[in-house]
């Protein structure tokens, strides 16, 4: 883990409250609380029926009729609200809390929600295309949140972040360095196969981040200043 973000020194300019970011965190937490009370078999069936299984969409695989399931297209939305455990959920929500409010500030509430979900869909598809026959359900908001990181680094590359470097040392670093380090770690893990072997959907992270960076010009609110004026100075 290169840099764990704790806080960004980047005040919002246009919205008083980041309602969508808070709402997404609450929704993820409530879904996880509901599922955490199920027996292991029940949690497994939820993962299969509501997680994104690449083989269902890309390889014609079918679930057993006794497993409640959404359509494969809808699962590209629902998988974004499922997590494999409290640690998985906690890390994802921390990243969304630190970076989401400023991206929501630049886009506005409705545009940000659409942007977030779209990045999650693209992330799931990219992950699926790397292994279309996979029957392992993909879970988590990290693809969508990677899209938020991609947008953040385009909008605020010089914003100062308080991070724990390698989980130990508090440090203030520019967003470009912090997010770039995460991207390079995922890319290295994907190209070498090391992260894939550990069950991490790094190609979803990569796809989400690239999608987020590319979609910023389409989703930034036209009433906001251009990117260069939004970007924060050092300090």
25 neighbors 93 (Cβ within 8 angstroms): yes
Total residue length of the chain: 235
pTM: 0.92
User: Among 1.20.1540.10, 2.60.40.1930, 1.10.620.20, 2.40.30.170, what is the CATH number of 3-223?
Assistant: 1.20.1540.10
| Nearest by Cα to 213 from 141, 125, 127, 154 | 154
What letter would DSSP give residue 170?
E
User: pLDDT, tens digit, for every residue of 215-232?
Assistant: 999 999 766 655 444 444
- Range of lowest pLDDT (47-51, 112-116, 193-197): 193-197
> Residue 200: which pLDDT band, with cuts at 50, 70 and 90?
confident
Weakest-pLDDT range from 12-21, 62-71, 103-112, 172-181: 62-71
**Higher-scoring residue by pLDDT: 195, 159:** 159
Q: For 74, list phi and psi in degrees, rounded to 5.
A: -70, -30
Q: What is the pLDDT of residue 169?
A: 84
pLDDT tens for 122-181 read 999 999 999 999 999 999 999 999 999 999 999 999 999 999 987 788 999 999 999 999
User: pLDDT tens digit string along 205-217?
Assistant: 999 999 999 999 9
């Amino acid at each position: 883990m290169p840099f764990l973000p704790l806080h960004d020194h980047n005040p919002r300019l246009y919205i008083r409250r980041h309602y969508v970011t808070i709402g997404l965190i609450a929704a993820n937490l409530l879904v996880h609380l509901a599922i955490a009370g199920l027996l292991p078999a029940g949690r497994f069936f939820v993962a299969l029926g509501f997680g994104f299984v690449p083989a269902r969409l890309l390889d014609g695989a079918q679930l057993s009729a006794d497993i409640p399931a959404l359509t494969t297209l809808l699962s590209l939305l629902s998988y974004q609200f499922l997590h494999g455990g409290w640690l998985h959920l906690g890390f994802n929500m921390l990243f969304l809390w630190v970076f989401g409010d400023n991206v929501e500030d630049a886009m506005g509430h409705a545009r940000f929600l659409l942007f977030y979900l779209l990045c999650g869909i693209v992330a799931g598809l990219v992950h699926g295309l790397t292994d279309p026959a996979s029957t392992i359900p993909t879970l988590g908001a990290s693809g969508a949140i990677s899209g938020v990181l991609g947008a953040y680094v385009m909008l605020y590359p010089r914003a100062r972040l308080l991070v724990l470097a390698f989980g130990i040392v508090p440090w203030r670093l520019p967003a470009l360095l912090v997010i770039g380090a995460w991207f390079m770690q995922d890319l290295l893990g994907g190209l070498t196969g090391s992260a894939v072997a550990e069950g991490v959907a790094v190609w979803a992270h990569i796809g989400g981040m690239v999608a987020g960076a590319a979609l910023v010009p389409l989703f930034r609110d036209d009433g906001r200043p251009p990117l260069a004026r939004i970007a924060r100075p050092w300090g």
